[in-house]
């Protein structure tokens, strides 16, 4: 696998509007991080405002009861230190990266959509033919982004994201500012999905998206393949 330089940008939102604690869904950060790094990629971890990335505690079980990547993270002093102190993504030169990756978690619904700097970065990567990727609620970072002609970046493109059905299944349909599947469809995206909580990811050119936490590995694999394809074609 061709070495890639990947910028992961996590949420900085630690609370939902109803006051409940939230943050990144840890598996959606750890699974792609290790998939990328194990493949030889250089991964830079950043966040919306910098500092510690809030971790949704619902995504962390007692030791020995987690997804393999979360268990690995809990014993990884290097990555836990990176999560505890990240740079703000705007303080990083984006020119060195082949891809950006937006992990999910309900926190993303409260800071990704309104961050115009994030939308601008997504637009810049997309127009440069670089990979833009997101998983679960991470595609909330795509909703403000525009194509070169001013239409929504996702219009006419195949995308996956946490579904409305899944949002109802976890009982948070009234806690989020909008339902992500509905929003993407309203923007003209061609939304695709597997049954609730099954692994599913889709690649449409340089845009890679995944449905839910279980989809993190599939999404990461498609990112690595997309980067390799771009480099092979250069």
Helical axes 77-84 vs 26-38, angle rounded to 10°:
130
Which member of 27, 106, 136, 181 is catalytic?
136
pLDDT in tens, the chain (234 residues): 457 999 999 999 999 999 999 999 999 999 999 999 999 999 999 999 999 999 999 999 999 999 999 999 999 999 999 999 999 999 999 999 999 999 999 999 999 999 999 999 999 999 999 999 999 999 999 999 999 999 999 999 999 999 999 999 999 999 999 999 999 999 999 999 999 999 999 999 999 999 999 999 999 999 999 999 999 998
The CATH code of the domain that includes 129 is: 3.40.50.880
**Size (the chain), residues:** 234
191 carries an active-site annotation:
no
Q: Are strands 5-10 and 190-191 parallel, antiparallel or unpaired?
A: unpaired
Number of Cβ atoms within 10 Å of the Cβ of 95:
9
181 carries an active-site annotation:
no
pTM of the entire predicted model: 0.97
106 carries an active-site annotation:
no
Distance between CA 178 and CA 200 in Å, rounded?
Answer: 22
Which member of 28, 166, 167, 181 is catalytic?
167
Domain that holds residue 223: 5-233
Select from 205, 215, 122, 218 the least CA-distant residue to 158: 205
Cβ atoms 186, 153 nearer than 8 A: no
- Count of domains for the chain: 1
């Amino acid at each position: 696998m061709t070495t890639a330089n990947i910028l992961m940008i996590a949420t900085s939102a630690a609370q939902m509007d109803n006051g409940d604690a939230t943050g990144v869904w840890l598996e959606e950060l750890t699974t792609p991080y290790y998939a990328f790094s194990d493949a030889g990629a250089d991964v830079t971890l950043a966040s919306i405002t910098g500092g510690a990335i809030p971790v949704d505690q619902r995504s962390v079980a007692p030791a020995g009861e987690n997804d393999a990547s979360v268990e690995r993270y809990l014993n990884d002093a290097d990555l836990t230190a990176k999560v505890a102190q990240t740079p703000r993504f705007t303080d990083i030169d984006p020119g060195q990266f082949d891809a950006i990756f937006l992990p999910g978690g309900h926190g993303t619904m409260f800071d990704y959509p309104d961050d115009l700097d994030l939308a601008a970065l997504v637009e810049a990567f997309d127009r440069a033919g670089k990979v833009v990727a997101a998983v679960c609620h991470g595609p909330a970072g795509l909703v403000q982004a525009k194509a070169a002609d001013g239409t929504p970046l996702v219009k006419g493109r195949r995308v996956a994201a946490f579904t409305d059905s899944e949002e109802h299944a976890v009982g948070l349909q009234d806690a989020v500012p909008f339902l992500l599947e509905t929003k993407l469809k309203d923007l003209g995206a061609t939304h695709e999905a597997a049954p609730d909580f099954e692994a599913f990811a889709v690649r449409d050119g340089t845009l890679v998206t995944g449905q839910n936490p279980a989809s993190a590995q599939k999404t990461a694999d498609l990112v690595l393949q997309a980067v390799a394809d771009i480099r092979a074609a250069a």
